[in-house]
Amino acid sequence: MEMLALLIPVSLFLGGIGLVAFLWTLRHRQYDDPDGDSHRILSDDWDDHPKQ
């Protein structure tokens, strides 16, 4: 039982850090273009002549 008194606050703290990190990524628009990367990786436009 003494170990639970330590593990519960630690797990709540780590969960809070994860929630704050997720909310930070939402506010900084990290998830705006989920399909763009999947289309860009299949494109041959930039293989031979990179844009300068």
pLDDT above 70 for 49: no
pLDDT at 34: 72
What is the structure's pLDDT at 4? 95
Residue 32 tokens, joined: 């705006």
Through-space distance between the first and last CA atoms of the chain, rounded to whole angstroms? 63
The DSSP output letter for 52 is -
d(CA 5, CA 13): 13
Q: Per-residue confidence at 36, pLDDT binned at 50, 70, 90?
A: confident
